[in-house]
Structure 1
Amino acid sequence: MKTKRHILSLCLALPLVLQAATADPKKAGERFKAGEITWPSSPGDAEICMWKDDKIAPVSVTVDDNWASEVPWWLEQSAKYGNFPVTWFIISHKVGGRSDGGTWALWSDVVAKGHDVQSHTHTHLQTEDPAWLGMEGEYSESKKIIEANIPGHRVRMLAYPGGKGMEMNSEELAAKYYAGARWATGTLVPAGAIPFMGIRAVTESSFNNPAANWADPKRILDPSDKMYRTWCVMIYHGAGDKVADRPFFHWLADNQDKLWLSRFCDASLYGQEREAAAVKVTENGPSKIEFELTDTLDNAVYDQPLTVKVRLPDGWKAVAATQGDQPVEAKFITKDGSPYALVDAVPDKGKVSLVSR
């Protein structure tokens, strides 16, 4: 069942300060302040981690405007540098031979390889194109076409087109069809102020660049920085120099223990669900722990697993977890000699049971 309140239970050492208990995570404004990762002290205590696998912060690499000819290069870089997933925001009307738009076979293969394809509208605001259907059609048609041509794939995210006509974009209209969206280049925002229907992206040129510190991805791992633990979204159009060394890619690979290298959709859904979720332990015994995970969102749209950290009894050496009657991922870890489980569960999908193995 859904709760009537937004309850935040995050893995934070500092108190989570809410500005409004019913704040809308799709809108701007700081709703909470992020702090360090915490560790529940008593067996049976459970917390919702701020990001998947209790990582410090997520990074999502996104590519706009199809650039189909560069897909092989991106797949190669992903495999070389920590298997970071890439989200392509494609212009649906370009697919099938128009201006490096690629084919549906290509984009289906991209999804099959664990990357993602989401919407960059139907024509990219080309109002004189015969395919132009007005702004509502720009948003709705792209979603419909991509889903029809990549069977089983869901399009829940949008990248607003920039350039000529960009003022026609509307977050309110986009929200009729999408659960989250991204504007073009901008700046980082604090973790508690992410506007999920209009997050800004930053460019690789800002990485480790004192002249562009406002958009430097490295800030998300600095505990003294106000951007600590926020979601960093990278934007690319052309890939740029494909021969030069890319320090940003090295940084991704070198910090996999701290970063959640995430598809755009996964991080957006996770953040919104986490802000609307609550966890309640219903059974706390020496050989079994059970909890309920609920949120206030539409289950037909929001089905991203959240990571719940559970303090286990001291004698446990391994753990298995189920939600309903299905097994779910549960990682057994220790901190200062105490056992914990990181359990991936979907809100409102039934009780989660943990047993010692």
Structure 2
Amino acid sequence: MRKRTTTAGGTGPHSVPRHAAAAGTLALLAALAPSAARPEAPDRPGATRIAAWRDDKAAVFLMLFDDSVNSHLTNVVPELKRRGMVGTFYINPGAGWYKAKQDAWEKEVPATGMVYGNHTLTHSGAKDAAQLEAELAGCDAAIARAFPALKTPRLVSFGRPGVKKEQWLVTDEELKQALARHHLVERPDIGGRIAGVTQKTGAEILRLADQALESGGVERILFHGVGGDWLSLPMPEFLALLDGLVARKDRLWVTDPISAHQYETERAGAEAKVLEAGAARIRVSLACTADPALYDLPLTLVTRVPASWTQCQVSQGKAKATVTAARGEVRYDARPGTEEIVILPAGRQER
């Protein structure tokens, strides 16, 4: 899908292909080196494009952890935290192994920046719509306890538990309706991406990340145990994976499924319009057709500025930041809505 930005003097093309920023804030980025993989922006000041992915990264990679097993607490979370990475943990708060570590799951892990997904309450399946409702609601309640400060309603990722066929008897339509009621979004299909089973080494998993970089899209890997528990990936292989992702961090957005889904949905319905591009200031509006109550993740914009503007003040509403331009471009995050973005050379005050 393609969008076009418009300026007072004409039009300029930009491509629009597709947890986690806090609501009510504007994130403005200081690391502004443009990606070498993208087409060069038009030369005229004011030309603005919506980045394909957050921070103008080339692709997305998701790490998904099922069943809230003990090795996630002992082996996974500490290593992710050490590297400033995020993983998405699909919890079963009614399972005995979760209850034995409930304080860790509901008090300690949320403070590390990790994200939770709904994997049903007990991982026992759903033989009818009533059982499905109870399973989803019970897991939702545990996620709300763990993250009481997050707004409601909000989108949460859903991963269907792997159970025997006779344990999952709800229809696709019943599941669709239940997910919609609970604001749950089904995660991307795993399709042969299971650590320790289909990908047995860190190098094999990193090939998925490289495939994402080649395509500019989204790749993912599903874990169960890591260095323990069931369907386990050995710990040295997990560490090799994380180190490889760190080496790719300048090009790869390692995030959670909801953030990737929000960004892609918003980007597909967004339009950046240049309202003014003069020697004194640049003004940009950012509109989006997605429901702002659920789709409120900032989008990354890249705007061409005059060569003399090496430092810029970027503001949207009450949020302001001074950012550095690189190769005549300034990169920043902005929320779609009614508040326009104003870019000034540093030191100049808005009238």
CA distance in structure 1 between the aligned counterparts of 2:168 and 2:13, rounded to whole angstroms: 40
Q: Of 276, 280, 286, which residue of structure 2 is paired with 1:283?
A: 276
Aligned pair in 2 of structure 1 residues 280, 208: CA closer, same or farther (>3 Å)? farther
Q: Which range moved further: 296-305 or 112-121?
A: 112-121
Structure of higher CA gyration radius: 2
- Specify the alignment match of 2:75 in structure 1: 73
Give the alignment of 1:264-303 within 5 angstroms.
264-303=257-296
Q: 1:273: how far off?
A: 1.0
Q: Of 340, 343, 346, which residue of structure 2 is paired with 1:354?
A: 343
TM-score, normalised via structure 2 length? 0.75
- Checking the alignment, whether the CA contact within 8 Å between 1:207 and 1:248 is kept in structure 2 is no
Equivalent residue letter for 1:161: P
- Checking the alignment, whether the CA contact within 8 Å between 2:286 and 2:337 is kept in structure 1 is yes
Q: Deviations over 1:239-274 (max 9, x none)?
A: 121245643223201111111121232112111111
User: Percent of counterpart pairs with the same letter?
Assistant: 22
- Specify the alignment match of 1:151 in structure 2: 148
CA distance in structure 1 between the aligned counterparts of 2:330 and 2:113, rounded to whole angstroms: 26
TM-score, normalised via structure 1 length? 0.74
SS in 2 for 1:93: coil
SS in 1 for 2:68: coil
Aligned pair in 2 of structure 1 residues 183, 162: CA closer, same or farther (>3 Å)? farther
Which one has the bigger helix percentage?
2
Q: Deviations over 1:110-139 (max 9, x none)?
A: 2222211221122224458xxx94223333
CA RMSD of aligned residues (A): 3.3
Equivalent residue letter for 1:221: L
Give the alignment of 1:1-357 within 5 angstroms.
8=3, 36-41=37-42, 42-80=44-82, 82-94=83-95, 98-101=96-99, 102-127=101-126, 133-153=130-150, 156-164=156-164, 165-166=167-168, 168=170, 170-178=175-183, 180-182=185-187, 185-186=190-191, 203=195, 216-222=208-214, 228-239=215-226, 240-244=233-237, 246-327=239-320, 331-334=323-326, 338-348=327-337, 350-357=339-346
- Checking the alignment, whether the CA contact within 8 Å between 2:263 and 2:297 is kept in structure 1 is yes
Equivalent residue letter for 1:160: R
Q: 1:237: how far off?
A: 0.9
Aligned pair in 2 of structure 1 residues 274, 155: CA closer, same or farther (>3 Å)? closer
> Which fold has the larger relative contact order, with Cα–Cα distance below 8 Å and residues 6 or more apart in sequence?
2
Q: 1:236: how far off?
A: 0.7
Aligned pair in 2 of structure 1 residues 257, 204: CA closer, same or farther (>3 Å)? farther
CA distance in structure 2 between the aligned counterparts of 1:8 and 1:67, rounded to whole angstroms: 44
How many residues end up aligned between the 2 structures? 303
CA distance in structure 1 between the aligned counterparts of 2:245 and 2:270, rounded to whole angstroms: 29
Q: Which range moved further: 278-287 or 154-163?
A: 154-163
CA distance in structure 2 between the aligned counterparts of 1:9 and 1:266, rounded to whole angstroms: 24
Q: Deviations over 1:4-62 (max 9, x none)?
A: xx97359xx998599xxxxxxxxxxxxxxxx9512322210111101011100011211
- Checking the alignment, whether the CA contact within 8 Å between 1:179 and 1:301 is kept in structure 2 is no
